[in-house]
Amino acid sequence: MKYIVILGDGMADYPVPELNGKTPLQCANKPNIDNLARNGIVGMVRTVPEGIPPGSDTANLSVMGYDPRVYYTGRSPLEAESMGVTMKDSDVSYRCNLVTLSDEQKYSDKTMIDYSSDEISSDEAKEIINEINKYFENGEIKFYPGISYRHCMVWNKGKMGLKLTPPHDILGKKVGAYLPEGDGSSVLLDMMVKSYEILKNNPVNLSRIKRGLRPANSIWLWGEGKKPSLPEFFSKYKVKGSVISAVDLIKGIGLCAGMKCIDVEGATGNIHTNFKGKAQAALDELASGRDFVYVHIEAPDECGHRHQVNEKIRSIELIDQLVVKPILEEMEKYDDYKIMVLPDHPTPLQLRTHTSDPVPFVIYQKSRSKPSGLESYDEISAEKTGTYISEGHELMGKFISMTDF
């Protein structure tokens, strides 16, 4: 048996006024996913437990079969794992975004213009992170370059339990009300404030401004956590798994779970990613003897954060056409297979941030195909089925075994 999960990050949404009260999933032309819904099992699943922050970290842990209430130690350590950062038990790691702030003199008066610095290239970002490291590395603190705007800072004997805000939650807002608070926060805030002075005239940023691009003129620290530990995916489900994602967070979860992580050339974490390459990589993994592939696609989430209505619809259509379709066509050569398509969490266009609302899932098995009575895969159709899984971490076991459907 072969198993495929295709996860459209943030793909679920609320009814959108600009779409006459429909969701992007309802509006998208997605014949391949809809066909799975017509012949498979459709329902709703709550991936983020009550009281847990609705992040891609907690939600993807849940989808992969790990209860965030038990195994979640913070976002950044999972990303650090993917970056090859070896953490000690005494280390605390922090996600470090390269952001664009407005130019008011006082740091707290600045506005969060862009949490990604116009999706800065990894090469440019590496130069900037290396420059930041020159100023702040001291034997206890060190910065590590990642992909695009997503990086990591490790602080030995650092502080946990701080009040830290994801920068994508405060787009267009003054940052003063969202600066670090709590024991040890002064260390983080001091680095953030000083980074603006260090970076505002950095050659990389001056070049970007000349090219009409936003500068990465500040670091933003959040998502702290301790070294993670997960049971191996194989020990839980007896299948050999691979993870395909452009995002360090998802790759880090996979690595912590003992899965193989595949890098795809041109995979960007936005709508300009290499959709076809991800599909082919998944098929190659299955052909090589792997039993399970987890294909994560970030594009819908990025569009949700940016309130890009048409682009979010388009990202769903690209997943359908360039990922789902070729995978389904190739999988027909196998005697049997199972495929599941779902988001990790909603990223509503109106809110521009994540929510913990339940999300729709569809599961299709070749040998158990039968009409469902549905015509479309979307939030409204899925809710009408009455199938609801309250504990998201149980969905993977149900998908693998199919005994509870």
| pLDDT tens over the chain, length 405 residues | 999 999 999 999 999 999 999 999 999 999 999 999 999 999 999 999 999 989 999 999 999 999 999 999 888 999 999 999 989 999 999 999 999 999 999 999 999 999 999 999 999 999 999 999 999 999 999 999 998 999 999 999 999 999 999 999 999 999 999 999 999 999 999 999 999 999 999 999 999 999 999 999 999 999 999 988 899 999 999 999 999 999 989 999 999 999 999 999 998 888 989 999 999 999 999 999 999 999 999 999 999 999 999 999 999 999 999 999 999 999 999 999 999 999 999 999 999 999 999 999 999 999 999 999 999 999 999 999 999 999 999 999 999 997 776
CA dihedral for 24, 29, 35, 36, sign (positive or negative)? negative
96's torsion region: left (phi>0), alpha (psi -120 to 50) or beta? Answer: beta
Q: Which two tokens stand for residue 125?
A: 């970002």
- pLDDT reported for residue 270: 87
N-to-C CA span, the chain: 18
- For CA atoms 264, 276, 149, 257, give the dihedral sign: negative
From residue 194, alpha-carbon distances to 23, 88, 221 in Å are 42, 27, 13
Token match 């259509």: residue? 317
Q: Which fold has domain 2-73+229-401?
A: Alkaline Phosphatase, subunit A (3.40.720)
- Sign of the torsion formed by the C-alpha atoms of 314, 54, 121 and 204: positive
What is the gyration radius of the CA atoms in the chain, in angstroms? 21
Angle at 248 between CA 240 and CA 33, to 5 degrees: 65
Residue 216 has which token pair?
């990465």
The identity of residue 403, as a single letter, is T
pTM of the model: 0.88
Q: Which residues contact 403 (CB under 8 A, 6 or more apart)?
A: none
Number of CB atoms found within 10 A of residue 176's CB: 12
Residue 19 is classified by DSSP as G
Distance CA 376, CA 314 (A): 17
Would you state the pLDDT for residue 18? 95
pLDDT at position 404? 72
Q: At what angle do helices 122-136 and 203-210 cross, to 10 degrees?
A: 150
Q: What is the DSSP letter of 294?
A: E
Q: What is the 8-class DSSP label of residue 219?
A: E
CA distance 358 to 379: 9
The domain locations on the chain are: 2-73+229-401, 82-225
Helical (H) or strand (E) element with 42: strand 41-45
H or E segment at 362? strand 359-365
Q: Which residue in this structure is represented by tokens 């992170």?
A: 129
CA distances from 376 to 15, 186, 240 (A): 16, 51, 31
Contact 303, 271 (CB under 8 A): yes
CB atoms within 10 A of CB 59: 27
Q: Where are the alpha helices (DSSP H) in 137-289?
A: 185-199, 203-210, 233-237, 248-256, 275-287
* Token pair 């001091």: residue: 190
- Encoded tokens for 67: 């209860």
C-beta separation of 223 from 74 below 8 A: yes
